[in-house]
Amino acid sequence: MTVFTVDDCWLDGWRGRTTLIADSGGFRPASTAHPNPTAHLAGTILPGFRDAHVHLGLIDGSALLDGGIAVAHDFGWSLDAISDWIAREPFPEISFAGQLITAEGGYPTTSGWAPRTAAREVGGPVDAADAVDEQLSAGASFIKVALNSDAGPVPDDDTLDALVSHAHNRGVTVAAHVQGIGQASRALGAAVDTLAHSPWSERLEDDVIQAMAETMVWVSTLDIHGWGSFDRDFAVANDNVRRFHSAGGELRYGTDLGNGPLPLGINERELRALEHAGLELDALARAIAPTRPDGALGYRISRITAERDDDPAGWLASAHLIDPINLEELLA
């Protein structure tokens, strides 16, 4: 066990000079019961950064650590890949959706970006419940449903309700890919927990945004729209995000990594897009540096050596990961 101080620490808020503990389980704040610190680490420490939407089947997941990402949520691939990813080292801490649950012939069965085995087609409410059980048995920790009416058929209301209800009864959340007019409102009505992307198909009404802010989490993925060129879809999504954030909604930094020319690691353009939607430094930190229920910072922590300045996105994007193994060489 190593007890050390840092200049500043973000843990759902700025704590200033903080004493931390590092051991084989990772990093956590010290208590009065711990020994006095024996070393100091210069800079600011945050929980290990999270990308809340990646596709490990389309990228080299082991490169995420060097790119500054400690935690990743895989948003859909073939079930037989999960056990391989769980066993792979070094690798980020991963949560899995398993297959995308979709209607017969629905997205992404004909999209071309994923194998057919990345989708689980369902024919009705009973089949939807079975599909949820299959994902959880394979190691999934949340469920993803495809509501993409632009690309094909989508589950009907009874099937969607059965899927969400069964997942909730099993104690897991449901994320939805919503694309096409009216699909975001359908997800809201079915009590979906998370939107895999900030909605871009339509400008949502203010009352819909307010209701979503009270019950849903949105994953940002703004940079997939033009990769910095600010196209029409970006403008709609950005406007929706701005109002969702103003209404108190929870936003998670996520990139849809694997979809186009996105960097294998922290995406400064995604952070700047969130900044453009009104998120200041505290909100950006909360979106990318998740606070855990036990108050720990995680097995890997994010370190920024530069002083905080008036460029929050650039400052956060400069972070690098530390784990208990490489900590010793950095301590003074």
- Torsions phi, psi of 65, nearest 5? -60, -45
**Range 125-129 average pLDDT:** 97
Bridge partner residues of 95 (DSSP): 73
C-alpha dist (Å) from residue 271 to 53, 109, 241, 244, 326: 14, 31, 13, 16, 27
Bridge partner residues of 321 (DSSP): 302
Share of the chain above pLDDT 90, in %: 90
pLDDT tens figures, 63-89? 999 999 999 999 999 999 998 888 888
- In the chain, which segments carry CATH 3.20.20.140? 50-288
Q: Give the mean pLDDT of the chain.
A: 96
Strand, helix or coil for residue 2:
strand
* Per-residue confidence (pLDDT) for residue 34, from 0 to 100: 85
Whether 22 has a pLDDT exceeding 90, the answer reads: yes
Please provide the size of the chain in residues.
Answer: 332
- In the chain, which segments carry CATH 2.30.40.10? 2-47+292-330
Whether 155 has a pLDDT exceeding 80, the answer reads: yes
50-288 CATH choice from 2.70.98.20, 2.40.50.140, 3.20.20.140, 3.90.1150.10: 3.20.20.140
* Per-residue confidence (pLDDT) for residue 79, from 0 to 100: 95
* Per-residue confidence (pLDDT) for residue 33, from 0 to 100: 81
Please answer whether residues 273 and 222 qualify as being in contact, where contact means their C-beta atoms are separated by less than 8 angstroms: yes
Task: Kindly indicate the confidence band of residue 332, based on its pLDDT and cuts at 50, 70 and 90.
Answer: low
In the structure encoding, which two tokens stand for residue 17, read together?
Answer: 């000079």
pLDDT tens figures, 224-278? 999 988 899 999 999 999 999 999 999 999 999 999 999 999 999 999 999 999 9
Please answer whether residues 37 and 4 qualify as being in contact, where contact means their C-beta atoms are separated by less than 8 angstroms: yes
pLDDT tens figures, 98-121? 999 999 999 999 999 999 999 999
Dihedral of alpha carbons 139, 88, 322, 327, sign: positive
pLDDT tens figures, 25-60? 999 999 888 889 999 999 999 999 999 999 999 999
* Per-residue confidence (pLDDT) for residue 181, from 0 to 100: 98
CATH T-level fold of 2-47+292-330: Urease, subunit C; domain 1 (2.30.40)
Location of structure tokens 């400008």: 203
pTM (two decimals) = 0.96
* Per-residue confidence (pLDDT) for residue 245, from 0 to 100: 98
* Per-residue confidence (pLDDT) for residue 293, from 0 to 100: 84
**Range 309-325 average pLDDT:** 96
**Range 285-302 average pLDDT:** 93
